[in-house]
A = this chain, B = another copy of it.
Amino acid sequence: MIRVAIIGASGYTGAESMNIILRHSQAKLVYLSALPEECGDVGDVFPQFKGRYDLKIEPLDINKLTDLADVALCCLPHKVSMEFVPKLLAAGLKVVDFSADYRLKDPEIYQKFYSVKHTDTANLKDAVYGLPELFRKQIKGKNLIANPGCFPTGALLAIAPLLKEGLIETDSIIVNSVTGTSGAGRNPSAKFHFPNMNENLFAYGIGTHRHTPEMEQIAGEIAGETVQILFQPHAGPFDRGIFSTVYCRPKVKINSEQLTALFNDSYRSEPFVQVRKDAPAVKDIAGTNYCHIFVTYTKGRIVVFSVIDNLVKGASGQAIQNMNIIFGLEESLGLK
Contacts and interface: CB of A to CB of B under 8 A. Distances in A.
B280 A171 contact: no
Given A23-B23, A181-B194, A232-B245, A284 B47 contact: yes
Contacts of A202: 243, 279-282
Nearest to A204: B279
Given A194-B194, A245-B234, A292 B47 contact: yes
Nearest to A238: B199
Given A52-B290, A180-B195, A234-B245, 13 more contacts: A22-B336, A50-B274, A52-B288, A174-B301, A178-B201, A178-B234, A188-B192, A194-B237, A198-B198, A199-B286, A201-B236, A230-B303, A237-B238
Nearest to A287: B287
Copies in the complex: 4
A196 B283 contact: yes
Contact of A51 (B180, B200, B271): B271
The 6 A-B pairs of least Cβ separation, nearest first, read: A207-B298, A202-B281, A188-B188, A200-B283, A47-B284, A194-B197
B199 A283 contact: yes
Interface in A273-297: 274, 276, 279-288, 290, 292, 296
B271 A247 contact: no
Nearest to A190: B188
Interface residues of A, number: 77
Interface in A107-125: none
A10 B274 CA distance: 21
Contact of A47 (B182, B230, B281): B281
Nearest to A46: B284
Contacts of A234: 178, 243, 245
Contacts of A286: 48, 199
B201 A243 contact: yes
Contacts of A187: 193
A200 B296 contact: no
A319 to B, nearest CB: 19
A178 B245 CA distance: 11
Contacts of A240: 199
10 contacts: A50-B292, A174-B301, A178-B178, A178-B236, A180-B199, A186-B190, A201-B238, A201-B241, A236-B238, A287-B287
Contacts of A43: 274
Interface string A194-231: 11111111111011000000000000000000001110
A198 B180 CA distance: 11
A184 interface: yes
Interface in A152-206: 171-172, 174, 176, 178, 180-182, 184, 186-190, 192-204, 206
